[in-house]
Structure 1
Amino acid sequence: MSRSTHPPTATPDAGTRRRLPLIGNDLVINEDSCNLSCTYCLTGQSNLKEGHSLQLIFEPPRRDSYAKDSGLGQRMDKVADRIRDRFGLPLLKVTGGEIFLVRGIMDFLEQEARKYDVLVIQTNGVLVREEHLERFRSWGNVVLQVSLDSHLHHGNSHRVPSGSLHEKVVAAIARILDSGLPVEIYSVLNDRSVTEVCAFAEWLSGFSRPPVYFPFPVRGPDSEDFKVRPGQFGHIQELVDRYDEFARVLPPRPYFDRLTSFYREGRRTFRCHLPRLVVSSFSDGVVTPCPNIWFSDMGNALEDDWSEMLDTVGTSGLYRALLAPKPRLKACHGCFTPWDTLSMYFEDEITLDELCAAPTYSPPRIRQMLSDAKADYLQGGHD
């Protein structure tokens, strides 16, 4: 499909710190509305917004509509356009909540696919139908990130308590995996799913175009209730020991060096570079510096001062804490996600070729921007 031309990456500010070379916007739509009620859901633990404290994510899902004349549609278009235009972004990730609860969401996704090199869509897969998959294939630049902890009910039961509903979830995701689209499986490691990691990898390996399986630790203030127990670490080690057997569905081997380090040390000890590359925004306009953990409300992309607010991206004291050589913030200590492959590249744990083997980062413009961003980081003395 044809794509529009993009403005160059933003030039440095007049101030003492240069603007970060962002490659992506993680756009969160109606984050408190979902058709599943995962017990460990981060939205139910977040304190970024007053509404999060009400744990609306566990209430019956709220339907909404995207259209050019709807309130949600006008907000989504304005937030996405302002951030893309300001930073010349080649990548948009759209997540929720569950975005397929939004009527007309496919119109928004098709519109945005034309503007970016890659459109990443995160979903639990339940509401994705064959006609959606057919349209995604026709756009040519969609990557699906599907949340599933295990194909077996016990391992997925923190997400789906009902066995019959679990069967429907797995059937829907199997259709996605048979679609021919590039798919990443986002799988939360908890006290139940960890017991099935090898069985899950084997199941995923059976598809003709297998996804990439990203297991990562459960996060958030309530993670103690769900975390992998010390006596269960052997299941992760078994997956690592069988890496060659499951290599076709696994990220680069150094990913598991970080994962096992996380469990061995009991916390994150390695540097994060994600906030220098991706910003997070919400369909109500709120902007926050980290897609993994919603730290602080930097301001609102829908307000009159939105341009001045975006000038603070990369320049605030919070950014200095998030990008520190060692994780400083308590929330960062408990965080490790598939986004970490970006940090692994910056820390020379994987090569640019290994990073860009993933469809999310494979387009030439994204590859070049990542290479340039790392060179700039190294030249700047690792600030």
Structure 2
Amino acid sequence: MPKALLGNDLVINEDSCNLSCTYCLTGQSNLKEGHQLKLIFQPPARDSYTPGGPLADRIETVSDRLRDHFKLPLLKVTGGEIFLVRNIMDFLEREAPKYEVLVVQTNAVLVNDEHLARLTAIPNVVLQISLDSHLPTGNSYRVPKDTLHDRIVAGIARIIDSGIPVEIYAVLNDRSVTEMADFAGWLMSFANRPAYFPFPVRGPDAEQFKVRPEQVRHIEEFADRYDEFAPILPPRAYFDRLLRFYHEGRRTFRCHLPRLVVSTFSDGVVTPCPNIWFSDMGNTLGEDWEKALNKVGETGLYKALLAPRPRLEACHGCFTPWDTLSMYFEDEITLDELCAAPTYSPPRIRELLAEMKREYLAGGA
């Protein structure tokens, strides 16, 4: 029997985005030729999801094959910017009933009233919205123009007010880190409070954007105010780990994400880690698709990715909201704390995570 996985991180048209975030990871990836050419910074290409059309055939096949092979309960759909794809809601509505949770990551710029109405009708959807700050300076690596920034923030406020579970993915950089408390205060003001996940800027170009040593005090001061902002924050231990990352200057703690989640692309490529696209393990659209999926968890790269201490240079600079999964496996947080997040709250996901941890501990890996 194939091993169980928690989820599939399905990346659709990753080179096509309506923003050109200065620190964009796709623009720093070397997995594909298009990444090396930094096509992410070119004018975005529109695509269409049409039943029987090429994109629909590809992403339906990728999703179905991964779900059937691994029996996974979670699908995360990201890009690029997926709302550049015409009729993408048709795909999201097709997939949602097949999973316990459908996670949709977006910068929210293109989410219109029709999208929002249809999203609110999906009972198991969680939106992960990329926003570094509600203030123009802190968000300026994403959006350099104040007028566009203000329009985006107003749109995000409308999404939060809709009642959909929302997680805010906020990159910490030398501009946004000074605004953490103000940003959290703004998020606390909503009746439907979103979750706030701040995490370090990553990638080969991170040096020019990262939080400077003298700025780490802003994170420390924010962590000291944890009780004030607790309703929107991950467990307190998340900030202990985050500060350890900054104090030690790199990741020194174990990552369990590749044993739980795999990353696939709309062209069929499968790679072992959704945080960093390390290697092409094969294609889920080809005749050898089962062979490609059988490599999950079995290649030599996995030994390095799952080592007790990070071995790869890219891993040393990595810390993301996915880290709460690793924290649970390392007994830094409880299952109750982990599953307080909407993404992991369904009973089937909770049971699967507990079972996967038991198997990990029994195996002594």
- What range is the shorter-chain TM-score in? over 0.9
**What's the secondary structure of 1:145's corresponding residue?**
strand
Any idea what the Cα deviations from partners look like across 1:27-65, whole Å, max 9, x if unmatched? Answer: 000001001000000000000000001111111110000
Alignment of structure 1 residues 68-83 onto 2, 5 Å = 68-83=51-66
1:59 aligns with 2:46: no
> Given the alignment of the two structures, is residue 135 of structure 1 paired with residue 118 of structure 2, yes or no?
yes
The answer for unaligned runs of 5 or more in structure 1 is 1-10, 13-18
Matched, 1:275 2:233: no
1:1-383 to structure 2, matched below 5 A, reads 11=1, 19=3, 21-381=4-364, 383=365
- Alignment TM-score, normalising by the size of structure 2: 0.99
Q: Which amino acid aligns with 1:50?
A: E
Q: For 1:356 and 1:248, how far apart are their aligned partners in 2?
A: 14
Deviation at 1:133, TM superposition (A): 2.1
Inter-partner Cα distance in structure 2 for 1:284 and 1:259: 34
Distance 2:170 2:281 in 1: 29
Q: Deviations over 1:219-268 (max 9, x none)?
A: 00000010000111111111101111111111100000110000000000
CA shift, 1:131, in A, is 2.3
Runs of 4+ off more than 3 Å:
none
Cα deviations across residues 148-192 of structure 1 (Å, max 9, x unaligned)?
000000000000001111011101111111111110000000010
* Counterpart-to-counterpart distance in 2, 1:187 and 1:124: 11
**Distance in 2 separating the partners of 1:217 and 1:317:** 28
Gaps of 5+ in 2: none
Q: Deviations over 1:116-162 (max 9, x none)?
A: 01000000011112222222222200000000000000000000001
3-state SS of the aligned residue for 1:188? strand
Q: What is the letter of the counterpart of residue 105 of structure 2?
A: Q
Cα RMSD (Å) of the superposition? 0.8
CA distance in 2, matches of 1:309, 1:246: 44
TM-score (norm. length: structure 1): 0.94
Matches of 2:291 and 2:13, distance apart in 1 = 25
Separation (CA, whole Å) in 2 of partners of 1:147 and 1:106: 19
Find the aligned partners of 2:5 and 2:312 in 1 and give their Cα distance.
Answer: 22
